[in-house]
Amino acid sequence: MPWLKGRDKAMAKMSDSNLEKSTIIQKAIASCCGAIITSLFVTPLDVIKTRLQAQSNPFSKGKCFVYSNGLMDHICVCENGDSKAWYKKSGHFKGMLDAFVKIIQIEGIKSLWSGLPPTLIMALPTTVIYFTCYDQLSEALKSRLGKDDEHIPVLAGALSRFGSVTVVSPLELIRTRMQYRKLSYKQLYTCVSSKVATDGWFSLWRGWSSTVLRDVPFSAMYWYNYERFKKMMCKEVGAHEPTFFIAFTSGAASGSIAAVITLPFDVVKTHRQTELWESETLKIPQRDCTSTWAVMRKIVAKNGITGLFAGFRAS
């Protein structure tokens, strides 16, 4: 799960460099800058991955795929067959490196960031909410529990992720619906209103549970291990404040551990969300068993336990 790991490492390093008296606005700006830098590094890898997938198994109209800009995952619905969308461009790639070189040579370097601008509209606010909440919760908990309490990173990380996912989930659902139906704002309002009237307000949080089951444990483990590794390394080298190397190494190690442990939930989340959207776009009747555990059992029955760790190398 590279997008979570990469984003949290970048943000954590920026958090360490901030002064203790930084204002909320300063921290939000730092989060925003870190988010943009992360997306610029991670997006090309996901664009190449998507192009390779489309080459081996062309996307048909209504099919869905996951696009990651390094900050958060987005469900993208494929357009019609004669579309000139970036993921439908022809190419004969032999692998990631070959795709990287050919895309730059034939299409220009900007093509490595195809599809990025629209996703940043959602990803940047999410990142700012998440890291600003984490900083504020950490400070509040330190004043109550003491600054050395080991539970603070776990609680602050889990609660801030839970809050950001809950706030953004309905907005991301609306963005996806607007993208594939090409709706105007007036049509979108009508569509959402009818959906709420038919299925209730909770229908706007469709797919929320699978995202929370992945993101909240990841965040709790990431911040706990990050703070712990940072203290251990500072003590080992006799540093009073973490250096760039200490912050980077702590982030890489804690991100890797959290990514591997939560990978099964990432696989299930991707499976559930693509299935949910394809059932709507392709008018496929939704099966009854769509809970996280039901999907997990189905994946294990079909691909074995290794199916829950698909994409292990990438994460």
- Concatenated DSSP letters for the chain? -HHHHHHHHHHHHHHHHS-TT--HHHHHHHHHHHHHHHHHHHHHHHHHHHHHHHHHSPPPTT-EEEEE-SS-EEEEE---TT---GGG-----SSHHHHHHHIIIII-GGGGGTTHHHHHHHHHHHHHHHHHHHHHHHHHHHHHH-TT-THHHHHHHHHHHHHHHHHHHHHHHHHHHHHHHT--HHHHHHHHHHHHHHH-GGGGGTTHHHHHHHHHHHHHHHHHHHHHHHHHHHHHHT-SS--HHHHHHHHHHHHHHHHHHHHHHHHHHHHHHHHHHHHHHTTPPPPS--SHHHHHHHHHHHH-GGGGGTTTTT-
* Single pTM value for the model: 0.76
Q: What integer pLDDT is reported at residue 82 of this predicted model?
A: 54
Q: What integer pLDDT is reported at residue 3 of this predicted model?
A: 47
In contact, 212 and 268? CB cutoff 8 Å: no
Q: What integer pLDDT is reported at residue 284 of this predicted model?
A: 64
Give CA–CA dist 84/89, Å, rounded: 7
Q: What integer pLDDT is reported at residue 19 of this predicted model?
A: 40
In contact, 298 and 289? CB cutoff 8 Å: yes
Give CA–CA dist 203/291, Å, rounded: 15
Please give the radius of gyration of the chain, using alpha carbons only, rounded to the nearest integer: 20
Distances (CA, A) of 256 to 6, 31, 95, 285: 10, 21, 24, 38
- Give the HSE-up count for residue 79: Cα atoms under 13 Å, Cβ half-sphere: 12
pLDDT by position in tens, the chain (length 315): 554 555 555 555 555 444 445 677 887 788 888 888 888 988 998 899 888 888 877 777 777 888 888 788 888 878 765 567 788 787 788 888 999 999 999 889 999 998 888 778 778 888 888 988 999 999 999 998 888 888 999 999 999 999 999 988 888 777 777 666 666 677 777 877 887 888 788 878 877 888 888 899 999 999 999 999 999 999 888 888 888 899 889 988 999 899 889 888 888 887 777 777 767 666 666 555 567 777 778 888 887 877 777 655 545
Distances (CA, A) of 100 to 46, 52, 73, 110, 201: 11, 11, 21, 12, 43
Nearest by Cα to 214 from 252, 173, 162: 162
